[in-house]
Chains A and B, each alone.
Chain A
C-alpha cells in the first residue's frame, strides 16, 4: 500500500531564515505530487504540483520554491521566511494521468510551521 511521509512534523523558525520541508512517497511510481498550505482555521491553498522529476508548476507567486529531485521526493524551500509563511504545510500524492484516470489525492501528516 502507499504511504506518504513528511518531516519535520513541527518547526519554529525566525523571520529571514531558510526553509526546507521534505515529502516522500512509498508504494507507487511516478505519482503526481502536491504542496498545499493551510493557514490557521482556513482552507487549502495549492502552492506547487509536479507530474514528474524536475517538473514543477507554481500556482501562486510567493517566496517559496519546490523541487522534485527524485520520483518520490518533493521538497518545499524558501531562502528567507516571512511571518506570513506560517501555516500547516501538507504534501499530497495522486495517481498519474493514464493510470485509472482519477483525481484522488492523499495527504501526508503535514508540517506545522511557525515563523516568529
Chain B
C-alpha cells in the first residue's frame, strides 16, 4: 500500500545545530522523493528533491540522502536558523505523477 512514515513528529533544536528528519516508504517502485517546507498558514514549498538513481543531493545548508535498500530517505539541515522553523513534509512519487506525503515534522529552531 501507499505509506510514508515520517519521524520525528516534532523536533526542537538550538540555532546552529543540525536537524535530521527521516522517512520510510513501502513501494520499491518509488523513484522520486521531494521535501516540502510549509510555514504557518502558507502553501507547501518544494525545497529539495532526489531521484532513485542518486544517493545524495545537497543545496547549501540542506541535503537529502536516499537508501533504496532500506527504503528510507532523510532531510539534513545544518547550521539551523530561526527561519527554518516550519513543518516539513517528505513525499514519494512514481511515474504515474502522484505524490504520497508523510505526516509532517514540526521543526522549531530556538535562537
Confirm or deny: A103 has a beta carbon within 8 angstroms of a beta carbon on chain B.
yes
**Shortest CB distance B83–A (Å):** 19
Contact assessment for A102 and B32 in the assembled complex, using a CB-CB cutoff below 8 Å: yes
In the complex, are the beta carbons of A104 and B103 less than 8 A apart?
no
Tally of chain B residues near chain A (CB < 8 A): 20
- The reply on A74 being an interface residue by CB < 8 A is no
Q: How many residues of A contact B (CB 8 A)?
A: 21
**Residue pair B99, A110 in contact (C-beta under 8 Å):** no
B49 / chain A contacts, CB cutoff of 8 Å:
104
**Interface pair A43/B32, CB less than 8 Å apart:** no
Minimum CB–CB distance from B54 to chain A (whole Å) comes to 13
CB distance from A66 to the nearest CB of B (A): 15
Q: Does A75 reach chain B (CB closer than 8 Å)? A: no
Which residues from chain B contact A46 at a C-beta distance below 8 Å?
A: 98-101
Q: Which residues of B contact A105 (CB under 8 A)?
A: 34, 46, 99
The total number of A-B Cβ pairs within 8 Å is: 49
Q: Is the C-beta of A87 less than 8 angstroms from some C-beta in chain B?
A: no
A49–B98 CA distance with the chains assembled, in angstroms:
8
Q: Of B44, B97, B103, which contacts A49 at CB under 8 A?
A: B97
Residues in chain B near residue A94, CB distance under 8 A: 97
Q: Are A97 and B98 in touch, CB under 8 angstroms?
A: no
Contact in complex: B97, A51 (CB < 8 Å): yes
Interface string of A26-61 (1 = CB under 8 A from B): 000000100000000011101001010000000000
Decide: B43 and A108 in contact? CB cutoff 8 A. yes
Contacting residues, chain B, for A107 (C-beta < 8 A): 43-45
Task: Give bound CA distance, A109 to B101, whole Å.
Answer: 18
Residue among A44, A108, A109 with max Cβ neighbours from chain B (10 Å): A44
Known pairs A103-B94, A103-B99, A109-B42 / 7 extra A-B pairs, C-beta < 8 Å: A43-B104, A46-B99, A97-B95, A103-B95, A108-B43, A109-B43, A110-B42
Q: Which 3 A-B pairs have the closest CB atoms?
A: A103-B93, A107-B43, A103-B32
